[in-house]
Every structure is written in C-alpha cells, then in structure tokens.
Amino acid sequence: MKPPTLTIKPSHGAATFASPKLGVNVTLSNNALLYVATGLALKPAGFTIVNINENLSHYQQERLWNNELGIKSQWFNDRFKLNVAGFYYDIDNYQLKRNSWKT
C-alpha cells in the first residue's frame, strides 16, 4: 500500500495559497486497485468593474471540496482494462466567468 500524498501548489498570482490533496490506494489483488482521494481548492475573492451595481462588484472566495472514489482493474493478461470512478464536488460561492463586452 502506498502512503497518502499531500500536494501543495502555490498560485502564480499576487496571492499564494495551499491546495491540499490527500489520496489512498489499496491493492486488492494483482488485477485490481481501489483508490480514494479528497482535496480542497480555493479561488481568491476579488473585485470587478464590469458590474454597474456597486453591491455586485465584489465577489467572495470560491471554495471547492472534491472527492473521488474508484477502482482500476485489468484482465486477460492486461489485454482488457476496466476503470470506474465516481466524483462528488461541494462548491461554495461559485465564480462564474462571463464577458459583457458587445462586439
């Protein structure tokens, strides 16, 4: 069994933040691997000049908590592979990117 992993990636903007991810792999047999992973991702809060309404010009930090569960298997001397995964995302303060420029 592989040890859990922790990934920290700095952003390339003015703000720096951690985006941790934790995953565990369990080998069920020579042909099957079960895995589970969870992570947290953040988009910083900000300000936009596109909205005329002053109350809508500031937006809050987006927070994404992502979870994944899956199995990877191989059969018939590695001639057939079957991978199945399920995902669940919990998003708070989703930031929608849109352009309001008329062309």
Q: Is residue 23 in some structural domain?
A: yes
Q: Which pLDDT tens digit goes with each residue over 6-24? A: 555 554 555 556 688 899 9
Q: Is residue 99 in some structural domain?
A: no
Phi, psi of 43 (to 5 degrees): -115, 130
Q: Is residue 100 in some structural domain?
A: no
Q: Is residue 63 in some structural domain?
A: yes
Q: What is the pLDDT of residue 14?
A: 53
Q: Is the pLDDT of residue 47 over 80?
A: no
Q: Is residue 42 in some structural domain?
A: yes
Q: Is residue 98 in some structural domain?
A: no
Q: What is the pLDDT of residue 49?
A: 67
Provide the number of structural domains found in the chain: 1
- pLDDT mean across residues, the chain: 80
Q: Is residue 103 in some structural domain?
A: no
Which domain range does residue 30 map to?
5-92
